[in-house]
Amino acid sequence: MGGNGSAQLRVLVLTAEEGEGHYAAARALSHELLHDAGAEVVVRDAYKEDFGRVVPFFSRDLYHFQVRWLAWTYWLEFVLFAKFAPTRAIARAGLAICGARPLMRLIRRVTPDLIVSTHPAVTSALGYLRKRGRLKLPVVATITDLEAHPLWAHKGVDLHLVMHEACVASVERIAGRDSVKVTRPIVSPAFRASHTREEARAALDLPQDRPIFVVSGGGWAVGDVGGTVRAALGVENALVMCLAGRYEETRERLAATFADEPRVQVLGFTERMPELLAAADALIDSTVGLTCLEALTCGCPIVVHGAPPGHSRDSAKTIARIGLAELANKPSELLPALERTVAANRRPDFGSAPTAGSLIASARLRSTPATQWRRRLVIAAAASVGTLALGGWTFASAVAFPIIARTFGLRGLATVSTPKPIVGLIVAVPAKSATTVARRLQLENAHATFAFIDVPSASTTLALRAAGDGALPAVGPERATELLSLRRHLRAEARALHLPLHFRYLAPHRGLSLAEYLAARSVGGHPIDGSVRLTPGQPLPVDGFRSGAIVVFTLGSSAPSALGSLDKVVARLSSSGLRTVSISALLGSASKTAATARERASMPAEASTSTREAISTVRTSGS
């Protein structure tokens, strides 16, 4: 029966790295197939091996960024591609174009008897291959969401496994009748251990006589985890176990936030989830993913709070509607929901159903007549490629951003309106060379703001501040696929330079992409483009410089030749009657000008000329 010539069933389980849920489902399936069917199981991550770069970027990397910092954009994308049939067809065609051929190469290498998918994107590509007749093996799709949005199902898939009867109708509307079966939750066997609440608390050394809540935002710690913990502490004498997922940075931040609260324990990724859920009076969850299935299997009540827009919010409504969880839409609703849960003291019963392993082992090919709409498929595929290409170019290209910036007013700062004969000078230089350059500028009674790609030391920052210079971060060669490293870099530099919540940074000479602009904006960054960009040896502008301009000089080193070029720039400005200052000084002069204009505009028309002149004199002497 197996592709290796043996009678043993060989099953290929395809998953994808998108949070922890899909991986956990693949591990649980492997265990069930081995013990229930004696199968040989091969698990592969399609995103890491066989789906190329386009689909993982949009489905995993961009999704990660969206759900953590720009949730409304994911809601828009979800509605467009999951809820709206025409664009859903385009999405399916794009997944087929990108994923069908590499998946077939993987399948030929593994030679399975049967294939299981735990991820919607993989399911869509496999369904396309089955429907076109290119794949002649049974394909099973597992749907671990309790709200099975249309991209979870496909007409070409032979069997869909859902976790609750409430999901059957919505999947059959997409995949057809007799294409769905209900299985017990696909979770690790450890969650099926019959731990009582008392036994679990004793194993974890937790008190027996206090309410205990587990707060989870999934493997990515999605949502306002800190705010949820504070609300849960409103339950008298409650102990809160806060799960920070796989991000050490998030764990450290939460641990620091609740360092003085003895009723809060902050945990990173833990292997003791079965005992934690068995010990808890309730799980407070925002993602409504596999953690909720694990809690229900353990008999742990669930309160859903803070679900991000998109499929998680739909799943939250479904799990509450079928009576498996309390739903707290607002922060004010969370405390009453927890108090009701503790008072009820009921352990949910998820019911009984066949195991996924036994249902998968018995899966057979389903009759799926070939489509007669080849022309429409080609058109949809072409439209999908065009849409993906245009969307990716718009999001990731620095060429497209100027158009978007002009349209939506997102352009970086280039000039400042000021009556003073001053110019803002930014010197982009390695942090180790900054003090040398600052001393060189002091000799010419000039000041500047230094832009750093690397994080400067505290002594460098203090030396610049004492000299009357400024400092700001600079965006280096990152691209849209490195958004998280860009955010971390800007945030680390802003903290090192003691910048406020909203701060300026130097945009790269090549220009920003929309992805980089949004990533920087999410941590409070506002770009400076500059009106003139110069490098050592480059000819100076023929038409000279104007008051209020921002001049950016990129200095690769502190070599004499490079410093000589900087001296020429300062000398040219001085000969034009302009003095170089830091960006904060330039912006400060603009603020004073605006304040004076507002004061003058607010004066009555009959105010005497002498009064206006007096105010002008005070302003001038104060500056």
Please indicate, yes or no, whether the overall pTM of this predicted structure exceeds 0.75. no
Please name which of 154, 52, 43, 157 lies closest in space to residue 102, comparing C-alpha atoms. 52
What average pLDDT does the structure give for the chain?
81
Residue 104, Cβ density class (10 Å: 0-12 exposed, 13-18 middle, ≥19 buried):
middle
pLDDT value at position 65?
A: 52
CA 390/CA 82 separation, integer angstroms? 20
Report residue 7: phi and psi, to 5°: -85, -5
Write the pLDDT tens digit of every residue in 192-248.
Answer: 887 889 999 999 999 999 999 999 877 666 677 888 999 999 999 999 999 887 777
Other residues' Cβ atoms within 10 Å of the Cβ of residue 382:
13
pLDDT value at position 74?
A: 54
Structure tokens at 108: 């030929």
Better pLDDT: 371 or 22: 22
Q: Which residues contact 425 (CB under 8 A, 6 or more apart)?
A: 446, 447, 448, 449, 551, 553, 569, 570, 573, 580, 581, 582
pLDDT value at position 242?
A: 92
Better pLDDT: 402 or 499: 499
Other residues' Cβ atoms within 10 Å of the Cβ of residue 415:
18
Structure tokens at 443: 């000799």
Percent of the chain with pLDDT over 70: 77
The pLDDT of residue 378 is above 80? no
Structure tokens at 599: 């004061």
Tell me the H-state helices in 478-577: 483-496, 514-521, 560-575
The pLDDT of residue 618 is above 90? no
pLDDT value at position 562?
A: 81
CA 231/CA 263 separation, integer angstroms? 13
DSSP output for 196-231: -HHHHHHHTT--SSS-EEEEE-TTTT-S-HHHHHHH
Q: Which residues contact 516 (CB under 8 A, 6 or more apart)?
A: 475, 478, 479, 480, 483, 486
Better pLDDT: 20 or 420: 420
The pLDDT of residue 93 is above 90? no
Which pLDDT band, with edges at 50, 70 and 90, does 77 fall under? low
Diameter over CA atoms, the chain: 104
Write the pLDDT tens digit of every residue in 219-229.
Answer: 666 677 888 99
Report residue 343: phi and psi, to 5°: -65, -40
Mean pLDDT within 58-78: 55
Mean pLDDT within 187-193: 88
Which pLDDT band, with edges at 50, 70 and 90, does 460 fall under? confident
Residues 114, 13 contacting (CB under 8 angstroms): no
Which pLDDT band, with edges at 50, 70 and 90, does 345 fall under? confident
pLDDT value at position 151?
A: 79
Which pLDDT band, with edges at 50, 70 and 90, does 557 fall under? low
Count, residues in the chain: 623
- Residue 393, amino acid: W
CA 64/CA 18 separation, integer angstroms? 8
Write the pLDDT tens digit of every residue in 483-542.
Answer: 777 888 888 888 888 899 899 999 888 788 878 888 888 889 999 998 899 988 888 887
Write the pLDDT tens digit of every residue in 293-321.
Answer: 999 999 899 999 988 776 778 888 888 88
Please name which of 433, 473, 426 lies closest in space to residue 448, comparing C-alpha atoms. 426
The pLDDT of residue 371 is above 90? no
pLDDT value at position 606?
A: 41
Which pLDDT band, with edges at 50, 70 and 90, does 387 fall under? low
CA 397/CA 513 separation, integer angstroms? 5
Better pLDDT: 593 or 242: 242
Mean pLDDT within 455-484: 80
Write the pLDDT tens digit of every residue in 98-138.
Answer: 778 888 989 999 999 999 999 888 898 899 999 988 999 99
- Residue 120, amino acid: P
In terms of phi and psi (left: phi > 0; alpha: psi -120 to 50; beta: otherwise), the region of 51 is alpha
Better pLDDT: 145 or 67: 145
Q: Which residues contact 357 (CB under 8 A, 6 or more apart)?
A: 29, 31, 32, 33, 34, 35, 36, 37, 39
Residues 440, 426 contacting (CB under 8 angstroms): no
The pLDDT of residue 370 is above 50? no
E-assigned strand segments in 315-462: 326-328, 422-428, 449-452
